[in-house]
Amino acid sequence: MAHSLSAKKRARQNAKARTRNRARKSIVKTQLKRYEQTLQASNLDAAQEQFKQLTRKLDKVSATSTMHKNTASRLKSRMARRLNALKAKVS
């Protein structure tokens, strides 16, 4: 347990940040699952819409210190590749 005032404050700040970060990561994971479900269903229009929402959420989360920009970029790249594969399969 923290004893000094600054250590107590840091503990409170860490708890808030942890809550915030977990909520943001949860939002991204949920959106990722929705996107993968539309890919599995081979629904191209819905997949494109889900991809658009996923990229928005990834960009928003990576703008904070919750997720690194390169991590978000890597995820977007992988998901874009999967969307392009679906487009090629459907066409």
Helix (H) / strand (E) containing 77: helix 69-90
First to last CA, the chain: 61
Q: Six-digit token pair at 49?
A: 């819409």
41/90 Cα distance (integer angstroms):
12
How many independent structural domains does the chain possess?
Answer: 1
Mind listing the pLDDT tens digit for each residue in 18-41?
999 999 999 999 999 999 999 999
Domain span at residue 80? 5-90
Model confidence band, residue 91 (pLDDT cutoffs 50, 70, 90):
confident
Instruction: Assign residue 41 the CATH number of its domain.
Output: 1.20.58.110
Angle at 49 between CA 86 and CA 87, to 5 degrees: 15
